Amino acid sequence: MLEFFLAVALYLCFLMLFSLYRGIFGPTVLDRLVGANAIGSKTVVLLLLIGVIYERVGMFIDIALAYAMLNFVAVLAASRYFHKRKGLYEESPE
């Protein structure tokens, strides 16, 4: 069962690369925000898997809960910031 959890964690890390591509090369700022949000939501599961693998779930569950809240607050604050400030522009598509 432990090998299964390890494989799932590695596969989640592989999936984060897809969202990281959107986070780096996204045409607008909000695309990058979407990529960062997707990475954060995968990280919550990854933290729980780390807790199960190291048999310290009681400690890692609180970290995962705090990380989910932090991710939510970060996305909310960044999107509020970008519609107050008109600094959002569409970069030239290539």
Partner 1 sequence: MLLDSLVVIIMVMGLVFFTGGAVGIIRMPDFYSRLHPAGKLDTLGIMAMTLGLALYNLHHFSWEALLISLKMILIIFFVFLSSPTATHSIVDAGIRAGLKPWTKQDRRH
Among residues 6, 13, 54, 80, the one that binds partner 1 under rule CB under 8 A: 80
Q: Does residue 18 belong to the site contacting partner 1 (CB under 8 A)?
A: yes
Q: Does residue 9 belong to the site contacting partner 1 (CB under 8 A)?
A: no
- Exposed e or buried b for every residue in 72-87, given b needs 16+ CB within 10 A? eeebeeeeeeeeeeee
CB of 32 to partner 1, least distance (A): 10
85: DSSP letter? S
Q: Is 21 exposed, middle or buried (0-12, 13-18, 19+ CB in 10 A)?
A: exposed
Q: What angle do CA 17, 7, 22 make, to 5 degrees?
A: 10
Residues in touch with partner 1 (CB under 8 A): 1, 4, 8, 11-12, 15, 18-19, 21-22, 27-28, 30-31, 33-35, 37-38, 41-42, 44-45, 48-49, 52, 57-58, 61-62, 64-65, 68-69, 72, 75-76, 79-80, 82-83, 86, 88, 90, 93
